[in-house]
Structure 1
Amino acid sequence: MSETAKAAAAKAAPAPDAGRWKALVFIALAQLMVVLDATIVNIALPSAQQDLGISDGNRQWVVTAYALAFGGLLLFGGRIADLWGRKRAFVVGLIGFAAASALGGAATNEAMMFGARALQGAFGALLAPAALSLLAVMFTDAKERAKAFGIYGAIAGGGGAVGLILGGFLTEYLDWRWTFFVNIPFAAVAAAGAYLVIREPEGSRNRSALDIPGVVLSTLGLVGLVYGFTRAESEGWGDSLTIGMFVASAVLLLAFVVVESKVKAPLLPLRVVTERNRGGVYLSLGLAIIAMFGLFLFLTYYLQIVKGYSPVKTGFAFLPMIAGMIVGSTQIGTRLMMRVPPRALMAPGFLVAGVGMLLLTQLEIDSSYAALLLPAQVLLGLGMGTAFMPAMSLATLGVEPRDAGVASAMVNTSQQVGGAIGTALLNTIAASATTSYITDHIGGAASKSQAQLIQLQGMVHGYTNAIWFAVGILVLSAAIAFTFVTAGRPGASPSDTNETTDEDVMVPVIAH
């Protein structure tokens, strides 16, 4: 590292300050709120649908309105954080998210509910990249960064399962409206704490003009992509509008790439995604999320429909996965991050998760929770937690401070698009296998009870077929992480490795 680069790093990096760790508490709280909101509402959906008179055909919009706004506006939200200031974007995002949650909890009809969910998604798209980019610019010391991203990675990975538990409790013992109202105290505490303790490093704001064509093309392209996968789940892959959405999305996103390569101040500088390590992280993380989201869906249905678990019991059944993620992220990942290259954590992490997923291909109607589901979830949690932590850190490492928000948005975008793909793709595979199984076996049913048994067997058969695909996706994630992520371990000198070291890429000011 040159003397000039070292001086630039020293100038940009904030002095050791306990305030950063206080700030981490409020950033983590906000991230937990956003992540758990992706699943907490799913538990409450049947009750909300009945109360508000939402038709079966329209109920998907409670989930889809949020997903479209969140996924479509993430890049815009990330760049706004870079231009406007991350602390300001973070606090405004929290306040807006709380207001939208209050509107959803007070909804009296389906239009009010759909609008509230879209607003939640829009403010979430401002909040999520601001949170991650604050961590990226505040924690530049390698050891501190490892600890901070260990905590963040555990929350990002386990928040969805926490949402299932909390959603079950609130729906069963209070009312579905509390799955919205619960966000208000979360947001109030996080916003007040952030306003008081977060100190954004000087000189990290982007002063360039906003790329309006890039905003329009990326938003419409991502909305089309997410909606295409969401519609494919309910209407099928051959539906004309579904195909039209995919075609329109491809054209818009291609136009976006062309525009970004030519404009002076792009919304998404291509250097952010073409850097080998970050590109590998975005791709492997997105694929892993495809596998995870599909699994959440299948296990929830399996436990409630096949096993007859209540919403609360279903939520608690996911605790081993949460525990595994916390241990994998804060203990294994954090402790080893300073000693080994990131791919030595990411690739094995995805493979361990793949082994856990492989166990679940053995699911049957009478499978034992303790003998099969518990060890599978522990392995999944440990693997994902271990892989997520270095992935989250590396995705924003070495990015110029002025691009930290949009680089963080790309992490969230890969997760959001991965979730939409995972839910649609794996659900389609499962439904097809279930239909085929029932068609082949229902003729041999001699009674109504036997027919019901065959239907349950068909359902489980569909899940295991889809889970095999999830296993393959995790193996592919591991292969991509091992092949593309070549950064050396933090602190390694160039003489120790031919790869780019974290010490080099951590310099906030990089020459073009």
Structure 2
Amino acid sequence: MKKWTPCIILGCAQFVMVLDSTVMNVSISTVVKDLDTTVAAMQAAITFYTLTMASLMLLGAKLGDVWGRRPAFVIGSIVYACGSLTTALSPNITVLFLGWSVVEGLGAVLVIPAIAALIANNYHDQDRVTGFAIIGATSGVAVALGPLIGGYVTTYLSWRYVFFGEVVVMAVVLAFVRLIPDTSQPQRIRIDALSALLSAAGLTLIVYAMLQSKTWGWVLPKNSPEIGGVPINPLGLSLVPYLLLAGGFLLWLFFIRQEALVTRGVPPLVHVSMLSIKRLRSGLSVLGAQYMVTAGVFFMIPVYLQMTLGYNALDTGIKILPLSIALVLFSVVGTRMTAVWSPRRIIRLGQLILVVSSFILLGSVSLDLRSFLFAVGMFLAGAALGLLASQIGNVTMSSVGVEQSSEVGGLQGVFQNLGSSLGTALIGSILIASLSSSFLGAVESSDLSSSTKQLVATSTEKGVQIVPVSTVDGIATEAGLSSADAATLTTLYSESQVSSLRASFLALVFISALSLLFSKNIPTELVRRKPEEAAGGDRAASGTAT
């Protein structure tokens, strides 16, 4: 048991990191009402939480090398707890954004790479596989309990108590942190500020562009930002493609900068040459795609259940439970399978199941939830994510030596959180953009009077907001529409929500299928046991034979 004490402590920190986002997702409608904000604003907060981590994760990993991995873990835990407390006390979306999206994110950029590096440093061979599987299973437990804890607390108490609880858990983790051995020595290296700025700015521009695509349009401008009343749409195009190009250019400059620093003998923020390792590159790509799908699912499902069907937070958590249970179960199953199957075979099985589950979920979305089909889809999605979680951590961390584990832990955190950011931003933007086009098209082709159509068009000039279907009738009545027109608008809006959700699930099917291409260079050999374990097994077999 003593051997696994460090893993258990680190797992508790990992539990809080994962619990945090699942609670916020399942509590979307309640937080929107409590803080008098919108689903779009919550989408931005969720996106920027993971974006903060993605953009600064490399810096956090490098600070772990400078300060030492356990000290970085301690500092990050303290910052994270302060962010949780701020979030719990937030009176409006601005303070929540600061506490959750920024401060908690800053703490996580120190904690997450440190967890990966400390696991890699304290365990080897099959123990390392088990260690990362425990961390993966802990994440699964958080995913399993997060919707239930968040749903129960949000429904019967307040979502704020979850964040107060996180402060308590992080305090307990800090109380036992000395039980985590850390053989790493602080390094006297200078962190290149320009590298940190280039990577953060590049990633931020790319994710922000996707987030704003629902408002500004992907290519042709819709509701462009204005300066002095003049729309900003260079050459008649939306700002989105320009921001994507600018972000890509900054990341290219970042890569050039890292290579130049290595040539001069100066430590880079990250050795980009590691990305030439096919095994590592493949593992990180699969990880990014996995979290992109996960974030998309955990954003869409609560919106569907709460806004379209009128479920409360607890009922939403119960509906998500099949995914959560399967994720935990198949994290364990995936670890056991390493004795007979290679990591690539297990990962590809998980990816194929993910594609199937996305199709099933697509078919389950309707105005009257097809509960059995939905439950099967969620269970299979959890099974797929569990199989992936059981392998990816070890595949990436075992691609390099222990001395580079902190850097790889940073890269792992970047791809994990960048995938989450892109998943929430992209899928959320598709959902909202599809809702606008579907609803306005349905209104235009309906039998509603011209004056009603004009009123709807004027009210939705800047896009159609995601609101609970049950409130549409009241909104229409307050706008002066007749009860018959209000009922018609409610029907059109609910149908438009369902069609936009289907479009979003179709995008998830595409992403899930595309991820199969990324697993080409995942290892095909079985994970070996430690020499002493193998010798012990041989002796036992010999004794049995005699």
TM norm structure 1: 0.84
Correspondence for 2:59: 76
Correspondence for 1:135: 119
8 Å CA contact retained: 1:39, 1:161: no
8 Å CA contact retained: 1:72, 1:223: yes
Correspondence for 1:166: 149
The separation in 2 between residues aligned to 1:135 and 1:107, in whole angstroms, is 34
Q: Choose the corresponding residue for 2:500, options 462, 470, 486.
A: 462
Q: Choose the corresponding residue for 2:161, options 165, 168, 178.
A: 178
Q: Secondary structure of the residue that 1:339 maps to in structure 2?
A: coil
Identity of aligned residues (%): 25
Correspondence for 2:108: 124
Correspondence for 2:11: 28
Q: CA deviation at 1:36?
A: 2.0
When Rg is computed on C-alpha atoms for both structures, the one with the higher figure is: 2
Q: Deviations over 1:36-58 (max 9, x none)?
A: 21232344455555555668886
Q: Secondary structure of the residue that 1:318 maps to in structure 2?
A: helix
Pair 325,204 (structure 1): closer, same or farther in 2 beyond 3 Å: farther
Q: CA deviation at 1:322?
A: 0.7
- Counterparts in 2 of 1:185-224, with a 5 A limit? 185-195=168-178, 197-200=179-182, 202-203=183-184, 206-224=187-205
Note if 1:95 corresponds to 2:74.
no
Pair 359,400 (structure 1): closer, same or farther in 2 beyond 3 Å: same
- Where do 5+ consecutive residues of structure 1 fail to align? 1-17, 494-512
The separation in 2 between residues aligned to 1:55 and 1:301, in whole angstroms, is 12
Q: CA deviation at 1:319?
A: 0.8
The separation in 2 between residues aligned to 1:433 and 1:109, in whole angstroms, is 28
Q: Deviations over 1:344-386 (max 9, x none)?
A: 1111111111111111121342555542111111111111111
Q: Choose the corresponding residue for 1:258, options 248, 256, 259.
A: 256
The letter for the 1-side match of 2:292 is I
The letter for the 2-side match of 1:323 is I
The letter for the 2-side match of 1:456 is S
8 Å CA contact retained: 1:294, 1:423: yes
Note if 1:287 corresponds to 2:289.
yes
Q: CA deviation at 1:326?
A: 0.8
Correspondence for 2:459: none
The separation in 2 between residues aligned to 1:401 and 1:370, in whole angstroms, is 47
Q: Secondary structure of the residue that 1:107 maps to in structure 2?
A: coil
Deviates more, 1:423-432 or 1:472-481: 423-432
8 Å CA contact retained: 2:435, 2:499: yes
Q: CA deviation at 1:327?
A: 1.1
Q: CA deviation at 1:453?
A: 2.6
Note if 1:363 corresponds to 2:364.
yes
Correspondence for 1:298: 300
8 Å CA contact retained: 2:84, 2:99: yes
TM norm structure 2: 0.79
8 Å CA contact retained: 2:43, 2:424: no
The separation in 2 between residues aligned to 1:285 and 1:59, in whole angstroms, is 24
The separation in 1 between residues aligned to 2:43 and 2:211, in whole angstroms, is 9
8 Å CA contact retained: 1:77, 1:126: yes
Pair 366,233 (structure 1): closer, same or farther in 2 beyond 3 Å: closer
Q: CA deviation at 1:444?
A: 4.3
The separation in 2 between residues aligned to 1:436 and 1:319, in whole angstroms, is 32
Correspondence for 1:328: 330
Q: CA deviation at 1:340?
A: 2.2
Correspondence for 1:6: none
Q: CA deviation at 1:111?
A: 4.6
Correspondence for 1:506: none
Note if 1:485 corresponds to 2:493.
no
Correspondence for 1:502: none
Q: CA deviation at 1:315?
A: 1.0
Pair 373,158 (structure 1): closer, same or farther in 2 beyond 3 Å: farther
Q: CA deviation at 1:449?
A: 3.4
Q: How many residues align?
A: 471
8 Å CA contact retained: 1:320, 1:377: yes
8 Å CA contact retained: 1:320, 1:381: yes
8 Å CA contact retained: 1:40, 1:163: yes
8 Å CA contact retained: 2:77, 2:107: yes
The letter for the 1-side match of 2:150 is G
Q: Choose the corresponding residue for 1:237, options 211, 218, 221.
A: 218
Pair 344,170 (structure 1): closer, same or farther in 2 beyond 3 Å: same
The letter for the 2-side match of 1:400 is G
Q: CA deviation at 1:213?
A: 2.7
Pair 247,157 (structure 1): closer, same or farther in 2 beyond 3 Å: farther
Note if 1:267 corresponds to 2:254.
no
Q: CA deviation at 1:179?
A: 3.2
8 Å CA contact retained: 2:56, 2:109: yes
Pair 297,408 (structure 1): closer, same or farther in 2 beyond 3 Å: same
Pair 434,32 (structure 1): closer, same or farther in 2 beyond 3 Å: same
Pair 279,56 (structure 1): closer, same or farther in 2 beyond 3 Å: closer
- Where do 5+ consecutive residues of structure 2 fail to align? 225-237, 449-483, 531-546
The letter for the 2-side match of 1:259 is R
Deviates more, 1:384-393 or 1:419-428: 419-428
The separation in 1 between residues aligned to 2:174 and 2:184, in whole angstroms, is 23
The letter for the 2-side match of 1:484 is N
Correspondence for 1:337: 338
The separation in 2 between residues aligned to 1:110 and 1:299, in whole angstroms, is 22
8 Å CA contact retained: 1:89, 1:130: yes
Q: Deviations over 1:104-138 (max 9, x none)?
A: 22234555433322111111111111112211221
Deviates more, 1:436-445 or 1:338-347: 436-445
The separation in 1 between residues aligned to 2:157 and 2:216, in whole angstroms, is 34
Pair 203,312 (structure 1): closer, same or farther in 2 beyond 3 Å: closer
Pair 223,429 (structure 1): closer, same or farther in 2 beyond 3 Å: closer
Pair 371,88 (structure 1): closer, same or farther in 2 beyond 3 Å: same
The letter for the 2-side match of 1:488 is E
Pair 420,236 (structure 1): closer, same or farther in 2 beyond 3 Å: farther
